[in-house]
Copies of this chain bind each other. A is one copy, B any other.
Amino acid sequence: MATSSRVLASLRRVSVPRQASPLLQRFQPAIRVRWAGTTSATSEPHQPNENGTVSSSPAPAKAIKLTSETYPELQRNSKFAKLSQDHVKYFQELLGSESAVVDGLSKDASEDIEPFNSDWMRKYRGQTKLVLKPQSTQEVSSILEYCNKNRLAVVPQGGNTGLVGGSVPVFDEIVINLQKMNKIRAFDEVSGILVADAGVILEVADNFLAEKNHIFPLDLGAKGSCQIGGNVSTNAGGLRLLRYGSLHGNVLGIEAVLPDGTIMNDLSTLRKNNTGYDLKQLFIGGEGTIGIITAISIICPQRSEAINVAYFGLESYEQVQKAFSEAKTQLSEILSAFELMDGRSQKIVNTVTGKRFPLEGEYPFYCLIETSGSNTDHDSEKLQNFLESVMESSIVSDGVLAQDQTQIQDLWAYREGISECLGHWGGVYKYDLSLPISDLYELVNDVRDRLIEAGVVGDDDSFPAVDVVGYGHMGDANLHLNVAVRRYDKKVEKLLEPFVYEWVQRKNGSISAEHGLGIAKKAYIGYSRDETMIRLMKQIKNLYDPNGIMNPYKYI
């Protein structure tokens, strides 16, 4: 896209002039941030960021504290059977020994069972002795029917890129990993409807669709590892929700296996189908607690020809809100992302990566705006008009516009790299929250003030906390509140909780916007849901899984 002289003129007029920064240069950012393995299409568990950007070198799993030690109040439920040789024999006969991997029996190191026991954040570690890798819906059905009859607890597992410990065992639950169910079943080019196995990796699905000029209506950093069945099970939000809407609207059908082995064939490929309760919706965000999704059908939009990305510096959160309103009005149908990053988060990316800032000056807030449309000229003109208006009205203080695909990736890296960079000092307390937009950033200030006042934030090793930052999907009112720490510390934890949850509750927010509950948020659901809702949810759980074998100790 050609840089418009009108926009340049506008920028020149309203932004603060700096000798070292000719304006044209500001439109050609030199940053070249690269995150290891971002697009590696492996099906084994790896280390993603808050949206799952994958790191290439997982730390040895043995170093991770057992979940049962972290949560000493959790006891293995004695109603569950312990794995016996008979059980193992049954599964190995059903699946073959390559697809029923027993701890310690494998000669091949890559088949080590440990990666299936622990999560990428190194926060959770289970003690399973058995990983099953079914290759068909019928195999999943046979597995669950057997487990249900024999009271063997199970954990469904996709790409294991979750952030709340939902996809790894707590004790000795059997892992049922979907990686071998990885076929695209059908695609209709006229309607854009895709039918695929649950174990298809998101990026594989999106690449397949790209060849057909379509796009998967969900995108997130972990796309190289996460599986579409896992995405649907956690109702992943990610980067395209603002434009394409939620999975509750886009998923048209689900094939799932219930705990008793029943195959629920609700794999409709119809955009409209009003024939009874929409049961599949319970599995979207059900986190594998009432069944295992084995396939989905989903409506995929046409791929946009024109993608534009701009990156702004702004002087206040008030200005950020104004910019968002203007973007909604002026960019309207082509606005595909409006991301918020506070100044501290961008400083940390800058510090950790050593790459230069996209902008010359420093600002308390930054935004990343993406547009996707069918006509490059039209989109450029809309974006240009938008840029002019927000610069002229001083809503935005400075900005750059990506000139090519590389620069688009560079700007996105300053947003997507935050989570990984925050881990640089050792650990991160992470909160994934929904809040009314007007109150969204106030929480970050309140938490930072609280921690500074308590004397736990500082520049040297005597302070446990490094900094408190806020960023997220502003377009969806989704804040990621993160506290970077040098070490996990009880004092910090007590300052954070229940303070953060109570704050969210007062604003009628959600304690889990897109990450789900898993084991991490299970205890806190009461801050976002009342007792009646929790009772009704438990009713559903008991209806589908009366023996409680599905993903126990988690969710609600």
Which residue numbers of A lie inside 8 Å of B, CB to CB?
188-192, 213, 234-235, 237, 241, 245-246, 248-250, 262-266, 268-279, 281-282, 284-286, 290, 302, 304, 321, 324-325, 328-334, 372-375, 378, 381-382, 434, 436-438, 473, 476-478, 508-517, 521, 525, 528-530, 532-534, 536-537, 539-541, 543, 555-556
Contacts and interface: CB of A to CB of B under 8 A. Distances in A.
Contacts of A263: 532
Given A271-B476, A276-B556, 14 more contacts: A188-B437, A213-B329, A246-B249, A268-B510, A271-B434, A272-B473, A272-B514, A273-B510, A273-B512, A274-B285, A275-B511, A275-B521, A277-B290, A375-B382
B555 A276 contact: yes
A532 B262 contact: yes
Contact of A270 (B284, B328, B509): B509
20 contacts: A190-B325, A192-B328, A248-B278, A265-B532, A270-B434, A270-B510, A272-B476, A274-B510, A275-B510, A275-B521, A276-B517, A276-B525, A278-B281, A279-B282, A279-B536, A281-B281, A282-B282, A332-B374, A333-B334, A333-B372
A375 B436 CA distance: 29
Contacts of A282: 277-279, 281-282
A266 to B, nearest CB: 6
B250 A333 contact: no
Nearest to A375: B382
A-B complex: 7 closest residue pairs judged by Cβ atoms = A249-B249, A281-B281, A332-B374, A272-B513, A270-B434, A273-B510, A378-B378
Nearest to A284: B278
Interface centre among A277, A381, A438 (most CB of B within 10 A): A277
A285 B278 contact: yes
A241 to B, nearest CB: 7
Contacts of A325: 189-190
A474 to B, nearest CB: 10
Given A266-B533, A332-B373, A378-B382, A235 B539 contact: no
A516 B378 contact: no
Given A250-B249, A532-B262, A512 B275 contact: yes
